[in-house]
Structure 1
């Protein structure tokens, strides 16, 4: 830590600076259908995020910090305020009650694991892929 850091405090890195995760923004029902098809070859992960929820923002930050870039899955980012129709379809199609933040892992067209809130930060994705 430099002298100026100790006096003025070190600026926290932004989300972009911390970790550029390979997010695919989930913005259409067609994409959701494609995600289900792709899950037959490779695990697909959906992160449901609320822009207005402090817990969702904190969990996203912790998830991003812990994510290992060599994880073999596709990461989809679903902002629920912008795409509530998709969130509702995820709930009905997979039979998983909506929460946010929420993490779902889809393999072979089915949710094989899901969790929400602070528990997301504790998940090692590689254990479920």
Structure 2
């Protein structure tokens, strides 16, 4: 459940900061406008939430004796599935198109996570 929340927080944070209205044009000239944009603020809140969720996942793994030695590495592998969520959210929110290469890459990531976790 924590990994799912991490994935969603990360994906929506990235999608919000990928909004073309925020990143188009001269970002340096519009620094203050961007800094106080509601999408940017929400994205930063979600980014902090994803870091906290990463720590919570790591903490839970640390409590399992057989995983404690490598809890941070395992947490990284568990949260790597966020790449798939990012691609899907960018498709849904930013109307970015999925290529065959992205679809295959997502399948490879899922397979890799599965192999590592068994």
Same fold (TM over 0.5): no
Higher relative contact order (CA 8 A, sep 6+): 2
Which structure has the highest strand share of the two?
1
